[in-house]
Structure 1
Amino acid sequence: MQAGKNEQTTIGIIAHIDAGKTTTTEAILYKTGKIHKVGSVDDGTTEMDYLEEEKQRGITIVSAATTVYWKEEKINIIDTPGHIDFISEVKKSLTVIDGAVLVLCGTAGVQAQTETLYNLCLQDKIPLTFFINKMDRNTSSYDRAFNSLVESFGNYFIPLSLPIFNREEDFVGFYDILDKIYYIYESNNENNKKEPIKFLTFEELPSQYITLKDYNRYIHLFEEKLAEKDEELLEFYLQKNSLSGFEIGKLKRIIKEKTAKREIFPVICGSAIKSIGIDNLLDSIKNFLPKTNEVDYILYTPSDEEVINPNKKVGFIFKTIYDKQTGKLSLVRIYNGNFSKGDKIFNPRKNIWEKISHIYLLHADKKTEIDEAHNGDIIGIIGFKESETGDTILSDKSYLFMHKHFTTEPVINMSIETRFVKDVEPLISALDIISKEDNSFSYKQNKETGQIEISGMGELHLEVIQHRIKNDFKIETRLGNPSIAYRETITLSNSKEIEVSKIIKGVTNHFKLSLSLTSGEENKFIIKTTKIEEQYLSFFENFFSNTFLSGPTYGYPIANLEIILNDFIKFSNDVDILFLGETLKNLFFEIYQLSNPTLLEPVMKLDIIVDENHFSEVINDLNSKKVDIIEMKVLADNSKYKRIIVKGPVSRFFGYSTTLRNLTSGQGYFTMEFLNYEPSSKQI
């Protein structure tokens, strides 16, 4: 079996938790014929949430890939988690998509995670289509949801569909602004699903249906926003005072071009649970999000020079899964060329060749073996022994890398211990597997006491891992109280150059090293010199990668440090690698200590929703914690509730779920996300 070569795109479906993201994905699978029965999040029967923990909790925990076909176009879909504790899964997915659908709750509008996801897509320049979901709820408001987008992100949004209601104010369909067609959905007897009946008359809507009071305002907004973006459109609009009569094909091409440049964001409305508007959403994906062959991919040399669309096979490992039956499965996005079973692929970071033993098309946890995969495909590969998440794979021995920085630093630690002594070694093995799958999770064992400490993005994250250890590895464990996952960094920039010569086993080792350290937005290493031989390139890559794991001052992982190897000149024929490593380590430590190292602690942002009866108690508690209150406002959809946004060190929020539940008699809720690292008041 072979993967198809259809025109295709790769998208992510992203959302704040409970916006209906998984239900939207399920509706897309049903509409495209991938599945024949729609599952339910509440019943734990959705196709993409396949882990037992996901079914029990009713939330997405890991990203999952699948492929559908819509009107002869191949669409690779990555369904992602909505809970902030699993943001690492989202970041990994964002590195390999061409565009994204950001699902918005029609009742709540823009929420905390909506803002986080929008900003992540902004950083990676990912084109977006927005889907205002849950329009069937009587608490939903298209006006409020659309306005929240504009208020939060700016005036870049163009409505492509508007909701239609019956006289009882039930959501029954939508008006397609582009095609000027009303779509009304009527219930049939099978699972209460709905199929569209097209009313082709634009001038009149049947009298038993109504649309928005501001219908004309949205039509004008659509026309004006588009006219602003194109000279030909603007000239037509100024002459006609309308875009009616403008060639529809050309209009769609303009929307596609401006969406790709993120100058506009199309907005679709519907109800995933009622299957209303899903075909329109699929049309929007097909018509307006970029195709695989329209997106440039960039690789970098060790000296950080860009190489755009190199003519060779290129793939990127964005996720690793350890499957019980098949072992290590590497999830790969192919950026160029065809990958075939039996191919040998070069990993420049590891400086090794790997063999592709098996290739699979993926559908959640199901795999279909194929012989060959093509440009743009998302596939699973079995056979890689040493390649890991974040590695670039190439068809030739060249040292080019995709800079996909999606490492998510853990913010809390917990001790973990086994119920039985015999399970300690199996626990270490299990933690090692999980840490290779989840780059926001890490562990370490104290060599003297034997105590094991695990680190993750939040208490829920670590609880889920504990349950997985029990379910998948059959090991009973206990977790301790949370503690802070500190980091360290430098506050001054420094450089030093040294020249060393030493005789080892009768052979002279003579070389010069020049190294610089400076503060950055993330951990990064750059090799500036282009004179380094291949055998030393991978040594420096691996040395600098490992350097970030433990800082020389406090022993915590290093954050926000840029290491630059300015020069490496070899005067002797060869240099002993162990001696080079020892010299480089000593040089790094010396420069680091001269650069005014400081301790950092994670700062979190909380988005708290509380009813007016308990508002004062919550504010008083926050003030007692000495955290910064950023914003307070009444919820647009319910004036009895208020939104409070605060930030502060993570230590101030340990156990806040219990605190808020007690303060509000269970009426309040919150989301918490990592904001940044800031200097800690703790002295060590």
Structure 2
Amino acid sequence: MEGFLISSVYSEVRNIGVFAHIDAGKTTTTEHMLQRSGSIRAAGSVDEGTTSTDSLDIERERGISVKAASASLIWKGTRFNLIDTPGHADFLAEVERTLGVMDGAVLIVSAAEGVQAQTEVLWQALRLLNVPTLIYVNKLDRIGASFERTLGDITRLLSPSALPVQRPLYGEDGAFTGTETLWAHASDSAAPAQNEDLAFRTAAAEKLAEFDEELLLRYVEGDIPDADEAASRIAEGTAASQVFPVCCGCSQRGVGIEELLDAMLAFLPTPAPKPDLAGIVFKVERDRAMGRAVWIRLYGGSLRNRDIVRMHGRESEEKIAQIRVLDGLKKIDTGEISAGDVAAVYGLSEAAIGDIIGDPALVPKTPQLAVPLLTARVLPETDTDYTRTAEALRELTDEDPLLGLAWMPELRELHVRMMGAIQLEVLGSTLRSRFGLNVDFGPPAVIYKETPAQLCEGRVAYLAPKPCWAIMHFTVEPGERGSGLVYRSLARADDILPSYQNEVRRRVPEALKQGLFGWQVTDLIVTLTYGQSHVWHTHPLDFVIATPMGIMNALASGGTKLLEPVLRFRISVPEANAGRVLSDLSRMRAEFDPPFAEGERFYIEGRIPAATSLDYAVELRSFTSGKGILTASFDGYQEAPPGTEASRRRVGVNPLDEAAYILSARGAL
């Protein structure tokens, strides 16, 4: 009954994601919000491994988050579902899966380090989805911390529409002592002095007037909104992603936490429910007591225990066994979930991350941020562990589809994809602690891609062994970089039935997973120009078999070029190390903007191939005695230099060997 009480009394629910670059204080901030709201008794420490949202052994040992953790709190009558996301770039996939289900975001920036590369990546993703965002400047007690400098970074690198709604307070010795809220009533005894109140309202009017013609006319005439109206208009501007309130504090000391919660309540919006049933699966996890839990964000409608549901695009139906919502860190059985809430749903054994319930048009699209750049072979401790390891990795791939498990039973090989070396270390730790498996990994290799070298044509006539009949003619041409696959059909319905053409459309992306060098083929336009089916002899499977043969025939006739992944980087080093770094960057084929100096630090920003810079972060820390900092994020693919040799073993039979491929596809091999 307690769960029903929670849902009914606290009808206003907001789902808030907490995002940050690693070490900006994200988990510590979440911990203190839970403590101040009464959800937990005492805030844990990241350094001591006692935080409540870091539950995995590897998280407590290393002091980093590797999984998105959920918790809820009640603040002044509103329930916030918080999702504490990982800050390290290796776990960007976890961040990506939570982005689309958020009503608002708190982006944390360290006042010591300022805006970092991962901060910019997260910011761009939040802007792509227009997620209302509040910025929190943390660690103001650190040596070298500066609210003004950090605010300058925010307006320069993130958005000029950032608006401070709090200001830091300092003691006589210059030490940070607390924060002051600027949107309170001027008559309030706890409010700032009148001139500071006017300065805040004037700054707010200036920002908001850029988007509001009526307010602009009032501002020109000297009519400045009072504190109430300013706060209301900031909330409207935040909801529209036109204004971004900036708060400040020191989470480790718990300073500024209540003010941050007040700002979240004042400025981050409550979601409007959609008219029809709509929801998305954004996380899959295993509960030791209950089994497989599917986390669903519901945008419209409701779900109840024993409801029969079918995921969009799937034929099978499943029954919901139980629905649990968050109460602090605990999951409570409510038996129901309403629009705007998130819940762990049990009984949906086939539901996968990204699956949609109800109307897909009512579910926001999530941008793809995480792109695995490395692949490595998994090496079980003994041959007898091979099958157990494969099964364990299949379960983990269910929870993180980007692991991209490649299982080759005929070669007894397992390969996984990853974002970086730390993710590989975490994967090994998970296999050991959760499944009792000790595994090693082969050396990580960069994941290349292929693209057509020129316009080419491919033909296939699948006419034997009988009965079969599928004739197709394709053109394949290079596309713009980053465009992926564009498919179109010019074939007439009289020549190839629409149902057969649909089979071709579905099969083309699969046929492009392995090109001439074994890598995925991308940035291309594939056109089915002509084809022929037979009224008696054709079976839909004929076009499934024939499509890869036609596609590979085209690629073989024109050839493919290798594409290599590129990173956007920022390096900060003492000026004494600048010459060495510039020389290293030239050797690694980096392209960079003119370097600049601030204080005694030297900064370089640009793009660098992943293949040449895999170990450079370690090398940089070594020769700078730990004073050099490299941050990097994925920035797309570019053509690899001529002469680059990179190929990988093909899985299955090559469609270019048509006889063997046909026999294999028909189950005769």
Secondary structure of the equivalent of 1:273?
helix
Counterparts in 2 of 1:139 and 1:399: CA distance versus 1, 3 Å: closer
Cα shift readout 1:540-595 (whole Å, capped 9, x = no counterpart): 786456445x2232221344456688999999599734223123334444455567
Q: How many residues align?
A: 635
Q: Counterpart in 2 of 1:623?
A: 586
Counterparts in 2 of 1:498 and 1:96: CA distance versus 1, 3 Å: farther
Q: Counterpart in 1 of 2:263?
A: 284
More divergent stretch after superposition (655-664 vs 116-125): 655-664
1:132 CA displacement: 0.9
Select the residue among 609, 629, 640 that pairs with 1:649: 609
Q: Counterpart in 2 of 1:234?
A: 216
Q: Counterparts in 2 of 1:485-504, with a 5 A limit?
A: 485-490=447-452
Q: Counterparts in 2 of 1:248-647, with a 5 A limit?
A: 248-293=227-272, 311-362=275-326, 366-394=330-358, 403-406=365-368, 408-446=370-408, 449-490=411-452, 519=479, 521=482, 523=484, 543=507, 546-547=510-511, 550-560=513-523, 576-590=539-553, 597-635=560-598, 639-647=599-607
Q: Counterpart in 1 of 2:109?
A: 104
Q: Counterpart in 1 of 2:630?
A: 670
TM-score by length of 2: 0.84
Select the residue among 92, 95, 99 that pairs with 2:100: 95
For 1:538 and 1:323, locate their aligned partners in 2 and report how far apart those are by CA, in whole Å: 39
For 2:49 and 2:553, locate their aligned partners in 1 and report how far apart those are by CA, in whole Å: 55
Does the alignment pair 1:30 with 2:12?
no
TM-score by length of 1: 0.82
For 1:536 and 1:355, locate their aligned partners in 2 and report how far apart those are by CA, in whole Å: 33
- 8 Å contact from structure 1 (residues 492, 519) kept in 2: no
1:371 CA displacement: 0.4
Counterparts in 2 of 1:512 and 1:291: CA distance versus 1, 3 Å: farther
For 1:279 and 1:655, locate their aligned partners in 2 and report how far apart those are by CA, in whole Å: 42
Paired AA for residue 64 in structure 1: A
For 2:348 and 2:521, locate their aligned partners in 1 and report how far apart those are by CA, in whole Å: 29
Secondary structure of the equivalent of 1:221?
helix
Q: Counterpart in 1 of 2:24?
A: 19
For 2:629 and 2:97, locate their aligned partners in 1 and report how far apart those are by CA, in whole Å: 27
Paired AA for residue 255 in structure 1: I
Q: Counterpart in 2 of 1:145?
A: 150
Select the residue among 111, 117, 121 that pairs with 1:116: 121
Paired AA for residue 655 in structure 1: D
For 2:521 and 2:447, locate their aligned partners in 1 and report how far apart those are by CA, in whole Å: 11
Secondary structure of the equivalent of 1:292?
coil
Percent identity, please: 27
For 2:214 and 2:284, locate their aligned partners in 1 and report how far apart those are by CA, in whole Å: 48
Paired AA for residue 420 in structure 1: T
1:138 CA displacement: 4.2
Unpaired runs of 5+ in structure 1? Answer: 183-197, 206-210, 295-308
1:672 CA displacement: 2.6
More strand as a share of residues: 1
Secondary structure of the equivalent of 1:598?
strand
- 8 Å contact from structure 2 (residues 474, 550) kept in 1: no
- 8 Å contact from structure 1 (residues 606, 647) kept in 2: yes
1:623 CA displacement: 2.6
For 1:654 and 1:49, locate their aligned partners in 2 and report how far apart those are by CA, in whole Å: 28
What CA RMSD, in Å, does the superposition of the two structures yield over aligned residues? 3.7
1:96 CA displacement: 1.4
Secondary structure of the equivalent of 2:425?
helix
For 2:127 and 2:164, locate their aligned partners in 1 and report how far apart those are by CA, in whole Å: 20
More divergent stretch after superposition (110-119 vs 348-357): 348-357
Q: Counterpart in 2 of 1:223?
A: 205
For 1:575 and 1:267, locate their aligned partners in 2 and report how far apart those are by CA, in whole Å: 64
1:283 CA displacement: 2.6
Q: Counterpart in 2 of 1:190?
A: none
Does the alignment pair 1:4 with 2:7?
yes
For 1:342 and 1:12, locate their aligned partners in 2 and report how far apart those are by CA, in whole Å: 30
For 2:313 and 2:44, locate their aligned partners in 1 and report how far apart those are by CA, in whole Å: 42
- 8 Å contact from structure 1 (residues 416, 479) kept in 2: yes
Secondary structure of the equivalent of 2:52?
coil
More divergent stretch after superposition (330-339 vs 400-409): 400-409
Paired AA for residue 317 in structure 1: V
Secondary structure of the equivalent of 2:294?
strand
For 1:355 and 1:495, locate their aligned partners in 2 and report how far apart those are by CA, in whole Å: 48
Paired AA for residue 200 in structure 1: A
Q: Counterpart in 2 of 1:298?
A: none
Select the residue among 185, 190, 194 that pairs with 1:200: 190
For 2:497 and 2:232, locate their aligned partners in 1 and report how far apart those are by CA, in whole Å: 48
1:315 CA displacement: 1.3
For 2:498 and 2:40, locate their aligned partners in 1 and report how far apart those are by CA, in whole Å: 49
For 1:123 and 1:619, locate their aligned partners in 2 and report how far apart those are by CA, in whole Å: 33
1:340 CA displacement: 1.0
Paired AA for residue 208 in structure 2: L
More helix as a share of residues: 2
Q: Counterpart in 2 of 1:208?
A: none
Unpaired runs of 5+ in structure 2? Answer: 648-669
Q: Counterpart in 2 of 1:300?
A: none
Counterparts in 2 of 1:385 and 1:533: CA distance versus 1, 3 Å: farther
Secondary structure of the equivalent of 1:614?
helix
Paired AA for residue 371 in structure 1: G
More divergent stretch after superposition (224-233 vs 672-681): 224-233
1:9 CA displacement: 2.2
Select the residue among 78, 85, 89 that pairs with 1:84: 89
Counterparts in 2 of 1:131 and 1:620: CA distance versus 1, 3 Å: same
For 1:566 and 1:601, locate their aligned partners in 2 and report how far apart those are by CA, in whole Å: 31
